[in-house]
Amino acid sequence: MKLDFTNKVVLITGASKGLGKGIALEFARRGAAVVLVARSAVPLEQLAQQIRLLGGEALAVPTDVTSAEQVSALVSKTMDRFGRIDVLVNNAGIARVGPVESPTFADDARQTMQASLFGAISLTQQVLPILRRQGSGTVVNMSSVMGRKAIARFGSYGLVMHAMSGFSDALRQELAGTKINVSVIYPALTATTLLEEVDEAAMPPAFRYLTPLTVDAVSRAVVVAVGRGKRRVVIPRIVTLLLVTEAISSRMADLFLTGLARYRWFGWPVGLSRGKTYHQSIPRSSGTVCRARA
């Protein structure tokens, strides 16, 4: 199936780096005009220039998705330029690592919820009337495997990703009977700079020996999900076994995660630890990181 997005407009948040950047490039290569959204203006414009040099069309709109006023301005600028929005990719957000007993846990959860969930809700609410008028479109919500199974030392992120799953499920049912699709994406740990500032020894134990997914692999999966109208995508597929196990027995799923944390060989048979670890794989950068999935 050839996925061609010519004459389609794709709006992507968190597009200045990591998965957002990868998703934008993947859609642009397939003919879409892309609207690039993040707080940082310089990397957004650099990406827009890169896409234009490839023959694509891109609009960079620096936006803080936690600001209702800025979100409204973003939607207005997009409609003024293109007159439509065909795909919304809610990818912006942050993550914090630490145990539940940490004195900062509640604040970490609150900040992550504001950036990752409520920003997506605000933008989705403003885009949905446009999709309804058009009679078609897709909302993509980037969650995480943590959105189906939380892990130790990553609880604040896990609870927000669970919330993203609930938001996506409710929205999909509310849009039943329309031609507006909702796709929720559940990647495992990915080689972005989301956790680059976390000391290797402080990483969530289950990530210790994992070989992260590539940005390209996850970006392609997002484009395929949109093109084929997939409701849920778990990447890699083998992780679905963990989620099925969790549905049957949380004890067994917890034991599986303990094995991943303690033994490098444990994940090898299912292809989860056959290469470099996260800190060996990530591109090094300076500054604060905005969004990837884990």
pLDDT tens figures, 211-233: 999 999 999 999 999 999 999 99
Tell the burial category of 286 from Cβ atoms under 10 Å away from its Cβ (0-12, 13-18, 19+).
exposed
Active site residues: 157
What would the pLDDT profile of 120-156 be if each residue is shown by its tens digit?
Answer: 999 999 999 999 999 999 999 999 999 999 999 999 9
Give the pLDDT score at 102.
Answer: 96
Q: pLDDT tens digits, residue range 11-43?
A: 999 999 999 999 999 999 999 999 999 999 999
286 pLDDT exceeds 50? no
Alpha-carbon distance of 251 to 170, in angstroms, equals 28
Res 1: pLDDT: 54
Looking at residue 285, its pLDDT comes to 52
Give the pTM. Answer: 0.94
